[in-house]
Amino acid sequence: MIGLYSPGRSLIHRAPVLMKLALLSVGVVGAGLLSDAAQLSVGFAVLVALFALSGVPPVRAWQQVAPVLWLLVIAAPLQVLFAGWAVAGMMAGRLLLAVALAALFTLTTPVTTVLDGFQALLKPFRRWIDADRVGLLVALTIRCIPLVADIIREVLEARRARGTQGSLLALAVPVVVRSLYAADAIGEALAARGIDD
Amino acid sequence: MSTITFDAVSHTFGERTVLRDIALQLTEHRIGIVGANGSGKSTLARMINGLVTPTKGTVTVDGLNVSRRAKEVRRLVGFVFTNPDNQIVMPTVQEDVAFTLRRRGLDSAEIERRTATALERFGLADHAEHPAHRLSGGQKQLLALAAVLVADPRVVVADEPTTLLDARNTARIQALLAGLEQQVIVVTHQLELLAEFDRVIVIEEGRVVADAAPSDALPEYLALIG
Ligand SMILES: Nc1ncnc2c1ncn2[C@@H]1O[C@H](COP(=O)(O)OP(=O)(O)OP(=O)(O)O)[C@@H](O)[C@H]1O
Ligand SMILES: [Mg+2]
């Protein structure tokens, strides 16, 4: 899940956030450009080395990457069918590499640091863009993921408790309604904390 | 203590009148507000920091008109909600407390220092870097309280802060609220929380029907609902 910082003091944890962001972009683009198995294995070797250097517990790393494997379980067979094993393997490898790099970034960078990074980055444009707002938007987006996940879980449980099955709509309506309520309440809490200007 | 004044305050939501002609001067250290569901307690409490603007009359905090100067008033008045999940904004405990101090012109060392002190005080220091949404309900309410008090408000308004908590956490939050130097205004259905308070206000259908020391006001309220 996004937003789960794994505390630590490694070189990767301490690297300046903008440098990390820049390297992440380079890494993700680079992963997309890899064109054969040899290059891919070099990519994975670098990835493993970086994770080892960060000292992030392997379980935490796995939790971040595992959801993508589900996507691959669905997408890879299609690729095999249409484009053959080699292409499918490369596609899966590049995707995995890119996601793992992004995971490494979120695991080693507290959100506050990202906000401060944004602020620094957007400084030249401050006449047009309110960096604080952008930062808040990012923070709230990250915050909302576990919140909506909880709501979905609760609605599913309530459905099961009442023994009702039903359409996707019957799931979507309460989830959307409750999410809107939560959004309202969060807006109010933000105002109470003095962040509404 | 601060002075919070309700001057001829009435409020309607559409056609429904939920508060009628409220006149109150709140100067005591610890004040409780009780009343039946839907009687208007939350609406009243929210007016103190401008979350609700009265349709008639004015509310002032230390002379500041809440509807005109909400931003300044909110720096004086901290608000604790029933459900701390809605109050938590940042992913980790420490960041959420520090978030309150953003935009206050403090340098990062000062923010860090004050955040650490607040976490220590509320027994959350060991959770500083944990995901906030994984805390227990009681810990989340402690976090909400820490995030409010780190800004050192003059008044703390809490709307049913212990309704979602078990007995032990209720006692803990109660003790914390009772021990605050700040003026505290608590809306609650748990009457035992208010025994030691200085003043209890009973609301019924949008009116103040009793306003006295808890030893007088609470029996009156019990008689009213009994
Ligand atoms: N935003 C709103 N729009 C319309 N009606 C509202 C709104 N908020 C509250 N009300 C109505 O105003 C009345 C008073 O609500 P309020 O939340 O102040 O009651 P309360 O005393 O806090 O009740 P409880 O003990 O259940 O929390 C209720 O009848 C409620 O339905
Ligand atoms: Mg209420």
pTM: 0.76
Whether the pLDDT of residue A151 is over 60: the answer is yes
Whether the pLDDT of residue A119 is over 80: the answer is no
Helices (H), chain B: 41-47, 70-76, 93-100, 108-121, 137-149, 167-178, 214-225
Ligand 1 atom 1, closest CA? B13
Mutant choice from B42, B53, B85 vs A, greatest count of A C-beta within 10 A: B85
The Cα A193–Cα B13 span in angstroms is: 24
* Beta strands B77-80; B155-159: pairing state: parallel
pLDDT (tens digit per residue) in B101-130: 877 778 889 999 999 999 999 999 999 988
Q: What is the reported pLDDT for A1?
A: 39
Q: What residue spans define the domains of chain A?
A: 1-109, 111-197
* B83: chain A residues, CB-CB within 8 Å: 185
What is the number of CB-based contacts under 8 A between chain A and chain B? 82
pLDDT (tens digit per residue) in B22-63: 999 999 999 999 999 999 999 999 999 999 999 999 999 999
* Beta strands B77-80; B56-61: pairing state: unpaired
Whether the pLDDT of residue A168 is over 70: the answer is no
Q: Give me the mean pLDDT over the A99-125 stretch.
A: 81
* Beta strands B199-204; B183-187: pairing state: unpaired
**A69 CB within 8 Å of a chain B CB:** no
Phi, psi of B117 (to 5 degrees): -60, -45
Query: Would you place residue B77 in the very low, low, confident or very high pLDDT band (cuts 50, 70, 90)?
Result: very high
Q: What is the reported pLDDT for A61?
A: 83
Judged by CB atoms closer than 8 Å, whether chains meet at A146 and B87 is answered as no
The Cα B84–Cα B130 span in angstroms is: 16
Whether the pLDDT of residue B5 is over 50: the answer is yes
Whether the pLDDT of residue A146 is over 70: the answer is no
pLDDT (tens digit per residue) in B172-211: 999 999 899 999 999 999 998 999 999 999 999 999 999 9
* Beta strands B4-13; B16-26: pairing state: antiparallel
Tokens of A72: 């691959």
Distance to chain A for B135, nearest Cα, Å? 13
Q: In a 10 Å sphere around its CB, with 0-12 CB exposed, 13-18 middle and 19+ buried, how is residue B108 labelled?
A: exposed
Q: What is the reported pLDDT for B183?
A: 97
Ligand 1 atom 27, closest CA? B37
Q: Give me the mean pLDDT over the B151-167 stretch.
A: 93
Q: What is the reported pLDDT for A111?
A: 76
The rounded Å distance from CA B121 to ligand 2 centre is 28
Q: Are the C-beta atoms of residues A44 and A97 closer than 8 Å to each other?
A: yes
**B90 CB within 8 Å of a chain A CB:** yes
Mutant choice from B67, B80, B99 vs A, greatest count of A C-beta within 10 A: B99
The Cα A29–Cα B106 span in angstroms is: 38
Class of B4-225 per CATH?
alpha beta
Query: Would you place residue A156 in the very low, low, confident or very high pLDDT band (cuts 50, 70, 90)?
Result: confident
3-class SS of residue B65:
strand
Q: Which ligand is nearest to the CA of B40?
A: 1
For residues A5-16, b (16+ Cβ closer than 10 Å) or e, as one string?
Answer: bbebeeebbeee
> Which atom in ligand 1 lies closest to the alpha carbon of residue B189?
25
Tokens of B34: 């009780």
Q: What is the reported pLDDT for A163?
A: 64
pLDDT (tens digit per residue) in A62-101: 877 887 787 788 778 887 888 788 888 888 888 888 888 8
Residues 6+ apart with CB under 8 A from B173: B138, B141, B142, B145, B161, B162, B165
Q: Which residue has the tokens 């409750």?
A: A178
> Which atom in ligand 1 lies closest to the alpha carbon of residue B46?
18
Torsion of CA B147, B148, B149, B153, to 10 degrees: 150
Facing residue for B86 by CB, picked from A5, A7, A189: A189
Q: What residue spans define the domains of chain B?
A: 4-225
Q: Highest-confidence range of A30-34, A85-89, A130-134, B24-28, by mean pLDDT?
A: B24-28
